[in-house]
Amino acid sequence: MIAGNNKYHGGNIIRNKSFWMLSISVVALCWTIVVGKHVNETVIDMTHNLSVTSPLWGGLPEFKFNIIVRGRMPGGFWLEGNTFETPDHAGTHLDAPSHYVEGAWRTQEIPVEKLVGPGVIINVTDKVLSDPDYRVVTSDIHEWEKKYGRIPENAIVIMNSGWQYKFPDRNAVFNTEDPDNRSSYHFPGWHEDAVAWLIENRDINILGVDTPSIDYGQSFKHLVHIILGQNEIPAAENVANLDNVPESGCTVYVGVIKLYDGSAGPARIFAINSGAEYGARAFLFTTLAFVFFLLLMICVG
Ligand SMILES: [Zn+2]
């Protein structure tokens, strides 16, 4: 009788333990689903300052910034207000398709859905070290796809050449002793064949570079600008901070100003790294733990 009672109590304890294990697993599972996807979420700025030190193309009028008011007012409060005047291709900016193609979208006509997409960062920093006139070729795209899989739909594909560290030194950015002379420029960009391949075989929203032009410095035909414009694809130029953006797995936002009749516009570009990979791993781990405890409960129950 006494032994039987003990056995009964022992079974209860095991069942209680299983109940708690199950409860904890369910809570952990729910927590992972709800919170896991957002854990590790970071926002990465990909924009250079727009200022009087922004390196501008030879022949463009200078950027101007004027303080209208900056000081304490008679009412006791502080007040600041300024005006600025800028070429539309200054600082980190987005070229509209109309830049090189008559009748293509001007800045305000670019559909807002085009301004966001999965980030694809093509790293060519090693190749550029020995060749500042380097152009991203189709094999660079294939290399990226070998590592990360097929380029996702609506992608924002950006060359990382390591150029970000040259800003805002104008001579360094245009890689010349004479930055007023456009024919002396030496910086990397995209090869027109790679761009044609991307347009033909993948679905991209925006093409980008960390240099002053999507065409390389020694381009005099501007073929990449023309191909992109003909296909209504805007180009992001002078993109910053690419070493801190994951080569795959983040979402890029290109907040170009809605400049009416613009051929381009300064843009705040940033990426959100959703930590989706971390979320997926946490989800898998918790699911396995849940199944394990479930099996344990069935075995001892
Ligand atoms: Zn431009």
Q: What is the pLDDT of residue 298?
A: 72
DSSP state of 62: P
- Expressed in angstroms and rounded, the spacing between residue 138 Cα and the centre of ligand 1 is 23
* 100/190 same-domain check: yes
Q: How far is the CA of 214 from the centre of ligand 1 (A)?
A: 8
Verify that 24 and 50 share a domain, yes or no: no
Spell out the residues 6+ positions from residue 287 whose beta carbon is closer than 8 angstroms to its own: 29
Residues 148 and 91 in one domain: yes
Distance 238 CA to ligand 1 centre (A): 9
Residues 115 and 260 in one domain: yes
The encoded tokens of residue 188 equal 């990397």
Confidence of residue 61 (pLDDT cuts 50, 70, 90): very high
Q: Residue 35, SS3?
A: helix
Residue 63 belongs to a domain: no
- Cα of 215 vs centre of ligand 1, distance in Å, is 10
User: At a CB cut-off of 8 Å and minimum separation 6, what does 150 contact?
Assistant: 202
- Do residue 117 and residue 262 come from a single domain? yes
Q: Given its phi and psi angles, is residue 242 left (phi above 0), alpha (psi -120 to 50 degrees) or beta?
A: alpha
Whether residue 73 is contained in a domain is answered as no
Whether residues 114 and 230 fall in one domain: yes
In a domain? residue 70: no
268 lies in a domain? yes
Whether 111 and 215 map to the same domain: the answer is: yes
* Token pair 């030194």: residue: 169
Q: Is residue 79 part of a domain?
A: no
**8-state DSSP, 131:** -
Task: For residue 169, give the 3-state DSSP assignment.
Answer: coil
Domain-embedded: residue 61: no
Are 72 and 66 in contact by the 8 Å Cβ rule? The answer is no
Report the CATH number that the domain containing residue 104 is assigned in CATH: 3.50.30.50
**252 membership: H or E segment, kind and range:** strand 250-256
Residue 67 lies in a domain: no
Q: What is the pLDDT of residues 178-211, one digit of tens each?
A: 999 999 999 999 999 999 999 999 999 999 999 9
- Digit-coded pLDDT (tens) for 209-264: 999 999 999 999 999 999 999 999 999 999 999 999 999 999 999 999 999 999 99
Query: Based on the structure, what is the number of domains in the chain?
Result: 2
| Same-domain status, 150 and 162 | yes
**Identity of the amino acid at 148:** Y
Confidence tier at 156 by pLDDT (50, 70, 90): very high
**Cα separation of 21 and 294, whole Å?**
8
As residues whose CB is below 5 A from the ion ligand 1, the structure lists 89, 95, 237, 264
Do 200 and 101 fall within a single domain? yes
**Main-chain phi, psi angles of 210, to 5 degrees:** -95, 10
Read off the DSSP letter of residue 34: I
> Can you give the residue range of the structural domain that contains 179?
42-55+87-273
Q: What is the pLDDT of residue 13?
A: 55
Distance 114 CA to ligand 1 centre (A): 17
CA of 277 relative to ligand 1 center, distance in Å: 34
Strands 116-123 and 135-136: unpaired
State the pLDDT at residue 275.
62
Q: How far is CA 102 from CA 105, 111, 199, 229, in A?
A: 9, 18, 20, 9
Q: Do 288 and 189 share a structural domain?
A: no
Distance (angstroms) between ligand 1 centre and the Cα of 129 equals 24
Q: What distance in angstroms lies between residue 75's CA and the mean position of ligand 1's atoms?
A: 44
The verdict on 239 and 128 lying in the same domain is yes
- Do residue 189 and residue 202 come from a single domain? yes
Classified as helix, coil or strand, 160 is: strand
**Beta strands 250-256; 42-45: pairing state:** unpaired
Q: Give mean pLDDT, residues 98-123.
A: 98
Angstrom distance (rounded) from CA 170 to CA 146: 36
Instruction: Using alpha carbons only, give the angle 290, 294, 300 rounded to the nearest 5 degrees.
Output: 145
68 in a structural domain: no
CA of 12 to the centre of ligand 1 (A): 73
